[in-house]
Structure 1
Amino acid sequence: MIFLVLFSVLLGVWNCRSQMILNDMSWINTCPSECECQYSQSSQMFLSKWKTENNDEHLIKSAVCVFNNHNINFTHRLSDDIESITFLQENDTQTIFTNDILKHFQKVQSIDLQGSLNSATVHITNSVFHNLEHLKFLALQRVDMTGAQKAFAKLSELEVLYVIHCTIGYLKWEMLDGLLKLKELYLLQSGIKELYGFAFYGTPELRRLFLSHNDLLSVDADAFVGLLKLEYLDLSNNQIDHLSGLTFPPLPHLQWLELKHNPIKVIFPHCFQFLNGTQHLTLGHKQQPVHLMKFSFRGLYSLKFLHIPNIDNDILIEHMFYDLRALMHLNLQGRIKIINNRAFNGAHKLLKKLILHNCQLQKLYKDSFHGLEVLQVLDLSLNNLQSLEEETFRHLKSIRHILLHNNKLKQMPSELFFENHQLQAISLHGNPWNCSCNMKDWKENIVMSNYIEPIAENCTNQYNCTEEMVPITDINTSPVCESPVIYKGEELFTVLKRLNCQ
């Protein structure tokens, strides 16, 4: 009975809403020929994917309009209570958007303004958006903002600002002043050369800031002053070539920092001393190797994931990873010839995954992995290891997967097979093995197990991402003999059966 009552109420509400929509079709019938007007689901709108709160499903009045320099006045024939507008520029010369074009849209919440892909240009004025008190989402693409540094300054209800391929150059505080509710800011591919002091001071609620694919040569702490709620900062794909203790101010809630594809040469000590809450850090550039020093990561107490795709260190030594007490995943690629004793001290307590893949690695010591008692995955594949000392892996009490394929190993201590009960797989193929009864303790089920390797990052939420390890089934994982000559090219375990080792 209760269900029938609720169903009747909901049905009545739906019929009422549907009737209201049917009674309000006149705005569609009077839609300008330059536009397509319709009711749209809120979840289907261009900027809905950035909406994370109060994401209720409802119908809104929307329009998609094509404009040029001669027909821009059609906006006055659109319904005044329209809520979402997308403007697409035709391939003509220049068009100037002024306050008079948009000021009567008092209920608009979303505007997407896209300039032409060709040589046509869209200009905006300083006051173009100043009467739009309810605007929450604004996207500008290929728009010339020269002389319009204050275009966003009075949008106190704006929550998301998306700017791509626009002309900015120098970002000053006046551009973002008064954006008190802004939570996400995307300034991409807009030729930003410098961030002036207090550039983001007018956005105290900002959570996510994207500044990738610009021309930043350096950043200073005073540019980020006031961003006490910032959680995500993307500075990737710029020209930043150095970091120092003056680069970042205290950002207590910053969880994710992207610095990849910047030509940073050296990570000096104390660069990250104020980023005590950061959990994810990626840095490095394919064309510019980065060099680590002692205490390079001091202050990153909460860091869980560190990825450096192009490291340049002859040797990893103790205290390089000092203060990384929460680190769980370390991924290094590039050039590391030697790993010294206790090299990972400071990051050893919680480290579960250590990737040293394709690092030109030549030498390990018996205490290279000292302290890594909870490590589960160790990837040493595609290196230049020729031999391993006895007890190299003795500290790895929890190790499950070891990848040693595609090195230059001829022999390997057998201790790993009978001292470690956690080991599930060890990849040994692609090495020039010298097959003999010294290998009689190798366990075929572990060596022949489908080895694992990382694939694309798997994100359980927006800030918690790690590389997912998956089994590889289409590769022959059997070690093959290189010597003696009589066994060359034969699989190891076939040879061991013929040797009948006791």
Structure 2
Amino acid sequence: MSCPGNCVCTSKGAVMCVGHTITDIPKPLPVHTYQLQLNDTNMNVINEQSLANLDLLLRVSLTHSHLHTIHPRAFHIAPQLKSVKLSSNDLSTLPARVFSPLTTLEELHLNGNQLETIGLDMFKGLVELLILDLSWNKLSSPASDVFNGLTNLNFLNLGRNSIKKLPSTIFRSLTKLRQLLMYNNELEVLEAGIFDGLVNLEELKIHHNQIKSLPPQVFWSLRNLKILTLSSNRLQAIPEKSFYHMPKLTKLTIYNNPLLSLPDQLMGQMPDMRELYLYGTNLTTVPGNLFANMSGLLSLNFHLNDKLNELPSDLFCCLPNLEKLSLKFNDLRYLHPQLFSKLTTLTILILNNNKLESLAENIFQGLGELFSIDLKNNHLKNLPGDSFLSNTRLRSLTLSGNPWDCTCSITGIAKWIRYNEHVVLDRDDALCHSPKYQLLRTIGSLREEEFNFCDATTVNSYFPTQSDLHASAKPFHTISTSGQTSVVASTTIPPTATSTTTQGATQQVIILTTTPTTKPPALHTKILSTSLQTLTTTPPDEEFLLATETPSTLYMSPPFYDKLVIEQGPEFVHHNLHRGWVYVWFLPSDTTLAGLLMFSHILLVAAGLFLIVAAMYSMYRLSKTMDELKAEHAHNTG
């Protein structure tokens, strides 16, 4: 058996030749060659005799070789061919009926060339053709009867051309076609009845076109269709009942269309539907029955709709087999408590990057198979402590990027996180945003004892609230009772602050009462069983505030002791506990003075840098002068 140079020949009859030195089909080839592959050659023409003496050849492939010409009788001497592949060449035209002698041809690949037109009788006589690939060419308007006679065709690829319009009868003879690909063209409309003859079609891909509207009932004849891609077009609306009579559909994509609304009747019975992609639209809401006929749906990608702000409460009522639900990057602010109640098989729930401000306590109740929940980058301030108690299989939860409010309302979820740290994957980034004394603490670091005061009788806070700190403060003044002097800090919101004392010299209580114009947030405190010390002498000379309800009980907030609270207001506040007294220090803060000090600091730094540079320059000049003097001295003495 002989094998030409630059070729590899197998004993079974397959030959592969590669190299720029090849300008024609190498000769001689083994007589039993049935498959010939030529790749990356310098063969520009298939001559009339190129395929001579290859009577057993069934499959020929010439790719990536800059082929630009085929002799009109090139295939007359090889009518037995079953497959011809001429992909990725420079063919811009084809001789009329050049393939007609190949009456038993089953595969013809012309993709990746420069073809602009196809002759009317180009495929005449190819009655056994099963696969025709014309993708990656420059076709713009194929003739209406170009595919006539291809009655056995199973696969037709017209993708990645420049087709702007297709005649309504172009596919009428392709009754056995199973796959039709027309993606990445410039189609603006689909003619009514264009798919009527494709009764056996299983896959239709028309994504990445410029289709602005669909004819009513255009897909109704496709009763065997399993995959339909309409994504990345220009659809603003879809006609009513467009997807009826498609019971075998398993995958539907209509994402990246500027859809404004969907009709109440859109989807027919689709029990075999497994994947649905509906994202990148202008929808603000959808009909409540949109997914009602998709009982077999496993994955629903309903995300990246930046105007979608409302979901009907029964939207997911009829998806008993759904495993993955993605609602990320929408504009959702509220979810109905029963929205997910019927999704008992759900394992992945993606809700990140919405504007959710709160979630109902039982919204995840009954989702026993839930494995992953993504809640990051919302507007959540707290969650009920038992939100995830029924999700026993939960192994992945993300909470970062939310403005968590680490006051009493956070205690439940904080406790859950402490006991389930392994579940919260971003626990180190789930940070408190308020109040300011908890700023940047992780929720998981909050301890139970910090919130002991939350469970007791509540009283109004007698410590300054945030609004108090932003209001002006009156100077400290003294009130004398029974020959004793007490110092009281009086603040205005503009409420009035008064102080009263009990009669008698052995016990004294100072009570601060305020009447704000707007009700300040209540601080829930625990009643501590601490007896008030008997005051027989004047309190220390430090400025302080002691607030109580009765002479016998002292209300205090344990987590606040010895903590410095810096507010962006008129003062800094430091609470201190000493011998039963709570001291509150008010240190005036003047923004003008602070600005002056900052300016002075910058000025001093700049002056220092200038002096350093000046000193370095002086040293340089002094060194240079010394060198000149030495040189002059050496010259004079020489």
TM-score by length of 1: 0.76
Partner deviation per Cα, 1:430-464 (whole Å, 9 max, x = no partner): 1111124544443337864467xxxxxxxxxxxxx
Task: Pick from 350, 369, 379 the counterpart of residue 379 of structure 1.
Answer: 350
Task: Pick from 50, 74, 97 the counterpart of residue 101 of structure 1.
Answer: 74
Q: Give the aligned residue type for 2:314.
A: R
Query: Do the aligned residues in 1 keep the contact of 2:427 with 2:443 (CA within 8 Å)?
Result: no
Distance in 2 separating the partners of 1:173 and 1:446: 69
Deviation for aligned residue 1:320: 3.0
Q: Give the aligned residue type for 2:61.
A: T
Distance in 1 separating the partners of 2:38 and 2:370: 58
Classify the secondary structure of the residue corresponding to 1:384. Answer: coil
Classify the secondary structure of the residue corresponding to 1:209. Answer: strand
Query: Do the aligned residues in 2 keep the contact of 1:291 with 1:311 (CA within 8 Å)?
Result: no
Rg larger in structure: 2
Task: Pick from 380, 383, 388 the counterpart of residue 359 of structure 2.
Answer: 388
Deviation for aligned residue 1:281: 0.7
Seen in structure 2, the aligned counterparts of structure 1 residues 108 and 368 have a Cα distance that, compared at 3 Å, is same
Query: Do the aligned residues in 2 keep the contact of 1:66 with 1:87 (CA within 8 Å)?
Result: no
Distance in 2 separating the partners of 1:478 and 1:291: 38
Partner deviation per Cα, 1:9-59 (whole Å, 9 max, x = no partner): xxxxxxxx98796xx99xxxxx9842347989xxxxxxxxxxxxxxxxx96
Classify the secondary structure of the residue corresponding to 1:415. Answer: coil
Query: Do the aligned residues in 2 keep the contact of 1:295 with 1:321 (CA within 8 Å)?
Result: no
Deviation for aligned residue 1:497: 5.3
Distance in 2 separating the partners of 1:81 and 1:253: 39
Q: Give the aligned residue type for 2:60.
A: I
Query: Do the aligned residues in 2 keep the contact of 1:285 with 1:310 (CA within 8 Å)?
Result: yes
Which protein has the bigger strand share?
1
Distance in 2 separating the partners of 1:450 and 1:215: 48
325-334 or 232-241, larger mean C-alpha shift: 325-334
What does 1:38-437 align with in structure 2 at a 5 Å threshold? 60-63=35-38, 66-68=42-44, 72-73=47-48, 75=50, 77=52, 79-87=54-62, 97=70, 99-114=72-87, 116=89, 122-140=92-110, 141-144=112-115, 146=117, 148-172=119-143, 174-220=145-191, 222-285=193-256, 288-289=258-259, 291-333=261-303, 334=305, 335-345=307-317, 347-394=318-365, 396-437=367-408
Distance in 2 separating the partners of 1:60 and 1:175: 29
Deviation for aligned residue 1:383: 0.8
Say yes or no: does 1:499 pair with 2:474. no
What does 1:461-472 align with in structure 2 at a 5 Å threshold? none
Deviation for aligned residue 1:275: 1.5
Deviation for aligned residue 1:244: 4.5
Distance in 2 separating the partners of 1:316 and 1:190: 34
Partner deviation per Cα, 1:280-329 (whole Å, 9 max, x = no partner): 0111227x355333233234343221112213222344223332232221
Query: Do the aligned residues in 1 keep the contact of 2:366 with 2:391 (CA within 8 Å)?
Result: no
271-280 or 219-228, larger mean C-alpha shift: 219-228
Q: Percent identity over the alignment?
A: 22
**Alignment coverage as a number of residue pairs:** 434
Deviation for aligned residue 1:415: 2.8
Query: Do the aligned residues in 1 keep the contact of 2:157 with 2:181 (CA within 8 Å)?
Result: yes
Distance in 2 separating the partners of 1:431 and 1:359: 16
Classify the secondary structure of the residue corresponding to 2:387. Answer: helix
What does 1:442-453 align with in structure 2 at a 5 Å threshold? 442=413, 443-444=416-417, 448-449=421-422
RMSD: 3.5
Distance in 2 separating the partners of 1:382 and 1:38: 66
In structure 2, the residue matched to 1:483 is 434
Partner deviation per Cα, 1:212-270 (whole Å, 9 max, x = no partner): 11121122452222323222111111111223432213222211111111111123320
In structure 2, the residue matched to 1:35 is 25
Query: Do the aligned residues in 2 keep the contact of 1:88 with 1:116 (CA within 8 Å)?
Result: yes
Distance in 2 separating the partners of 1:32 and 1:423: 62
Query: Do the aligned residues in 1 keep the contact of 2:34 with 2:59 (CA within 8 Å)?
Result: no
169-178 or 232-241, larger mean C-alpha shift: 169-178
In structure 1, the residue matched to 2:562 is none
Higher RCO (Cα < 8 Å, 6 or more apart): 1
Distance in 1 separating the partners of 2:372 and 2:10: 60
Distance in 1 separating the partners of 2:434 and 2:196: 64
483-492 or 415-424, larger mean C-alpha shift: 415-424
Q: Give the aligned residue type for 1:314.
A: T
Deviation for aligned residue 1:100: 1.2
Seen in structure 2, the aligned counterparts of structure 1 residues 489 and 478 have a Cα distance that, compared at 3 Å, is same
Query: Do the aligned residues in 2 keep the contact of 1:357 with 1:382 (CA within 8 Å)?
Result: yes
Partner deviation per Cα, 1:457-484 (whole Å, 9 max, x = no partner): xxxxxxxxxxxxxxxx7x6665211112
Seen in structure 2, the aligned counterparts of structure 1 residues 182 and 104 have a Cα distance that, compared at 3 Å, is same
Query: Do the aligned residues in 1 keep the contact of 2:357 with 2:380 (CA within 8 Å)?
Result: yes
Distance in 1 separating the partners of 2:263 and 2:12: 68
Classify the secondary structure of the residue corresponding to 1:267. Answer: coil
Deviation for aligned residue 1:68: 4.0
Q: Give the aligned residue type for 1:85.
A: V
Deviation for aligned residue 1:109: 2.1
TM-score by length of 2: 0.61
Classify the secondary structure of the residue corresponding to 1:402. Answer: strand
Classify the secondary structure of the residue corresponding to 1:123. Answer: coil
Classify the secondary structure of the residue corresponding to 1:268. Answer: coil
Classify the secondary structure of the residue corresponding to 1:493. Answer: helix
Distance in 1 separating the partners of 2:248 and 2:211: 23
Distance in 2 separating the partners of 1:293 and 1:398: 33
Deviation for aligned residue 1:127: 0.9
Gaps of at least 5 residues in structure 1 are: 1-16, 26-30, 41-57, 452-472
Query: Do the aligned residues in 2 keep the contact of 1:154 with 1:177 (CA within 8 Å)?
Result: no
Distance in 1 separating the partners of 2:277 and 2:168: 30
Deviation for aligned residue 1:358: 0.4
